[in-house]
Each structure stands twice: as structure tokens, then as C-alpha cells.
């Protein structure tokens, strides 16, 4: 090993420093000490070590083992699918249909930037494929739990880290309507896509834009169109304000909430769900922030199965929402059980099932919806919808034609 560094460009030196910093943050959850940084930088620049071998070396250390007692999150065989919208559904780069199976993970980007481990959270939600993440939260609403905006460099690092573990990210730019935040978002997005669009990124401009605030989502349209990122405006309260490449809806958390996944079909076709004058929006719609377990009562496991089944059959998927997910905490035992029920609904039908013809038969349930050869029953009161149907799984909720 040589003790000297050959003559190098400023860019080469900066890249080595960035690679060392990123490895320490990702694996040891801290910034590097001076000696460790210098040693790894020298070895990288001399060609005595690659980024991959540096990371592998760190993962052998006792410090790494102490900070990751459950071991690393095992990456899947393929990276996160590169998504593009196609009518009612999403498809990957091979044009195979993909269902959105999201999970609320509001502070995960901020946690990652601050060097906190997110591996345990990701492990608990194995089977889901999208993280819904906020760029910041306003202190007037979140108090001591609020966090501030990331740099574009840190956001790209986060996207790369979770993308290598099979996760897409729905990044929510704005959670408040201050002009300063809007100005930040207009400059942040072009920086985020410098060097190319992150392949596992979709963007929601504003969270609940006209609920207790007035986020000017339309002022972001030119920036988003130039970025090349598939995006949703976030508008659903007044669907005439909706624009973008896909749609999100926070469906009502009332006593009949599991059937509200039907709203996704109405947003797509028009004529509802808010008013008969609602325009059609012919792109994929997702149930973005449905009921948490604290919001509703009743037979929660079957209601969670039903809601996510409805969103899977009439829309492009849905996000599992939880109180712990709002704070990046591990799910409680009850939340974990409901997440498993949600996955049953998200996985019950083929991802292109929403493309079939729709009908709504009247039978023994709160609502029954049929699309093509598939049926979802919300709160069924009989064990079977009749002859010709075969149960999917063990509940009376999911069915297919025999």
C-alpha cells in the first residue's frame, strides 16, 4: 500500500470524501472521525480499496454489529421498480403492472440525514414497496417533533439507500402554505434532479392542500413538468384543482370508511366523489392516508382487509397509515397485525385487475364491487356471494370467478 496520493483532480478528491462520509452515515450512523476518514480516503484515492470493499470492511466492525443487532436489512434481488403511470395502474420499466403498497414514514428522510438507523422500520414493513415521506413539518403544528427541510444531496443519498433495498419513495414537498416553503420547493426540485431523475422517486406537491391551509400547488406545476418526475398535485378536497401524473386521496374516516376506497374510481371517472360536477382525472389514484387504528371502531382486521382490497381493485393501491409511522417509530403489535391485514388486501388481486369492467351487485354486504373476474365484499353478512365465485384466502372478502 502506498502512503502517498497521486495527483488528482478536485472532483476525485471530493467524491472520495463524499463516499467516506456517506458510508459512515449509512452504516455506523455517525460522521467519520479524522483518522478514519483520512485512512479510507487515502485507500480509495490510491485504488487500494473500492467503495464496495470499504463498506464491506465497515460492516465487519464491532461498532457496526453493535448498532445493527438484528443484522442488516437484506436487499431484494432487484432494486425498486422504476414506475410509470398507465391509465388506472402503475407499471415498471418492463411494462409489468405494479400495485402501490405504501406505508406512512413521515420523518424517515430526516432520521436518515441525522444518522439514525431506519433499518428496523424498513424490516417491520417488509412486503410494502413505497415510503410516504414528508420533507419537513411546521413547528406550529408539530412543536418539538417538527423537522426542517433536507438538502438535495442528502435527499438523493436517502433515495439511493432505500432504493437499493427495494423501496420507492413518495416525497411530499409541502405540508404548510408559507411562501418561504413554496420558494424552497421551487429551488429544491431542480437540484434534486440534477444529474438525472432519481428512479425510485415520485412526488406529492402538497399534503391536504386546502384542509386548514391553502397550499398553492398550481405554482409548482411548471417546476414539476420540467423535472421529469411523476407527480401528484395532492389536491383531492376540490378535485377540480387536481393535476399531475397520478392522484392521491385521503378518504373519509367515518363509520363506513372501508367502502370509501370506491372514491378512487370516482376520481378517475369523474362525477364524484365530492359533487356530480367533479371532472375525470384519467391517471392512477391511491388511497394515501386512510384511517389509523385510533380513528375507527368495529372489526378492524376485516375492515383493513376490505379497504385495501377495494383500493387494489378500484384504484392503484393504498398507503398503510399509522400513528407510529407519523413519527418513524416501530409499529405496535396491533398496528403490525393491521399492516398484515392491509397486505392481504393489497395482494389479493393481480396488479392489472383494475383494468376490467366494473359493476356493483347488490348482495349481503355493506358494499360489493366487481371488476372483471374479481370481487371485493365490504362487511359481508353471508359466507358466500353465490355460485360461480371462489374465495381468495380465508376471509369472506376477496373472491374470483371459478
- The pLDDT, as a whole number, for residue 7 is 59
Stretch 316-332: mean pLDDT: 98
**Closest by CA position to 370, among listed 359, 382, 355, 362:** 359
- The pLDDT, as a whole number, for residue 29 is 84
pLDDT surpassing 50 at residue 64: yes
pLDDT tens for 132-144 read 999 999 999 999 9
pLDDT surpassing 60 at residue 119: yes
Torsion, CA 258, CA 264, CA 270, CA 274, rounded to 10: 50
Q: What's the CA gap between 258 and 252, in Å, rounded?
A: 9
pLDDT surpassing 80 at residue 181: yes
pLDDT surpassing 70 at residue 17: yes
Cβ neighbours, 10 Å, residue 77: 5
Cβ neighbours, 10 Å, residue 85: 19
Element (H, E) at 377: strand 374-378
Average pLDDT, the chain: 92
* Residues across the chain: 402
- The pLDDT, as a whole number, for residue 1 is 42
**Closest by CA position to 392, among listed 359, 347, 358:** 347
Contacts 24+ apart (CB under 8 A), 48-52: 48/1, 48/2, 51/19, 51/23
- The pLDDT, as a whole number, for residue 79 is 56
CA atoms within 13 Å, Cβ hemisphere of 94: 6
Q: What's the CA gap between 226 and 343, in Å, rounded?
A: 35
- Alpha helices per DSSP H over 193-257: 221-227
Contact 145, 327 (CB under 8 A): yes
Stretch 130-158: mean pLDDT: 96
Stretch 227-252: mean pLDDT: 97
Element (H, E) at 155: helix 152-163
Non-local CB neighbours of 268 within 8 Å, separated by 6+ positions: 88, 247, 280, 281, 282, 283, 285, 315
- The pLDDT, as a whole number, for residue 3 is 46
Q: Which CATH architecture has domain 84-354?
A: Alpha-Beta Barrel (3.20)
Q: What's the CA gap between 32 and 55, in Å, rounded?
A: 13
Q: What's the CA gap between 87 and 68, in Å, rounded?
A: 42
pLDDT tens for 385-401 read 999 999 999 999 999 99
pLDDT surpassing 80 at residue 80: no
- The pLDDT, as a whole number, for residue 2 is 42
Domain residue limits, the chain: 10-67, 84-354, 358-401
pLDDT surpassing 50 at residue 76: no
Residue 219 — φ and ψ, nearest 5°? -70, -10
- The pLDDT, as a whole number, for residue 397 is 98
- The pLDDT, as a whole number, for residue 254 is 97
- The pLDDT, as a whole number, for residue 73 is 54
Identify any residues that bridge with 128 across adjacent strands, giving them in sequence order: 126
Three-class DSSP labels, 239-250: HHHCCECCEEEC
Amino acid at each position: 500500500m502506498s502512503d502517498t496520493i497521486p495527483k488528482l483532480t478536485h472532483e476525485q478528491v471530493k467524491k472520495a470524501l463524499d463516499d467516506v462520509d456517506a458510508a459512515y452515515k449509512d452504516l455506523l450512523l455517525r460522521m467519520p472521525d479524522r483518522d478514519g476518514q483520512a485512512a479510507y480516503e487515502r485507500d480509495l484515492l490510491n485504488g487500494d480499496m473500492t467503495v464496495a470493499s470499504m463498506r464491506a470492511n465497515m460492516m465487519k466492525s464491532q461498532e457496526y454489529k453493535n448498532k445493527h443487532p438484528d443484522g442488516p436489512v437484506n436487499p431484494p434481488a432487484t432494486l425498486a421498480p422504476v414506475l410509470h403511470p398507465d391509465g388506472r395502474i402503475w407499471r415498471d420499466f418492463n411494462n409489468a403492472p405494479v400495485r402501490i403498497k405504501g406505508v406512512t414514514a413521515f420523518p424517515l428522510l430526516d432520521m436518515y440525514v441525522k444518522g439514525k438507523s431506519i433499518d428496523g422500520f424498513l424490516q417491520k414493513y417488509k412486503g410494502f414497496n413505497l415510503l410516504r415521506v414528508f420533507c419537513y413539518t411546521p413547528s406550529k403544528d408539530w412543536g418539538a417533533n417538527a423537522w426542517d427541510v433536507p438538502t438535495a444531496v442528502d435527499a438523493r443519498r436517502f433515495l439511493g439507500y432505500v432504493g437499493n433495498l427495494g423501496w420507492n419513495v413518495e416525497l411530499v414537498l409541502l405540508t404548510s402554505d408559507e411562501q418561504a416553503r413554496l420558494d424552497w420547493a421551487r429551488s429544491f426540485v431542480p437540484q434534486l434532479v440534477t444529474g438525472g431523475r432519481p428512479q425510485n422517486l415520485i412526488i406529492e406537491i402538497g399534503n391536504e392542500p386546502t384542509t386548514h391551509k391553502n397550499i398553492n400547488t398550481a405554482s409548482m406545476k411548471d417546476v414539476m413538468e420540467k423535472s421529469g418526475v411523476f407527480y401528484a398535485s395532492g389536491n383531492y378536497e376540490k378535485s377540480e384543482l387536481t393535476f399531475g401524473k397520478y392522484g392521491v386521496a385521503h378518504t373519509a374516516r367515518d363509520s363506513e370508511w372501508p367502502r370509501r376506497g370506491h372514491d378512487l374510481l370516482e376520481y378517475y371517472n369523474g362525477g364524484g366523489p365530492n359533487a356530480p360536477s367533479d371532472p375525470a382525472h384519467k391517471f392512477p389514484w391511491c388511497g394515501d392516508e386512510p384511517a389509523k387504528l385510533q380513528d375507527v371502531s368495529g372489526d378492524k382486521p376485516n375492515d383493513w382487509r376490505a379497504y385495501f382490497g377495494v383500493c387494489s381493485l378500484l384504484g392503484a393501491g393504498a398507503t398503510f397509515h399509522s400513528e407510529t409511522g407519523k413519527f418513524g417509530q416501530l409499529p405496535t403489535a396491533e398496528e403490525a397485525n393491521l399492516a398484515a391485514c392491509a397486505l392481504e388486501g393489497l395482494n389479493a388481486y393481480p396488479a392489472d385487475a383494475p383494468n376490467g369492467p366494473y359493476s356493483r351487485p347488490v348482495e349481503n354486504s355493506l358494499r360489493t364491487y366487481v371488476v372483471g373476474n374479481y370481487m371485493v365484499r365490504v362487511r359481508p353478512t353471508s359466507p358466500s356471494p353465490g355460485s360461480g365465485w371462489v374465495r381468495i384466502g380465508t376471509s369472506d372478502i376477496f373472491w374470483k370467478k371459478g
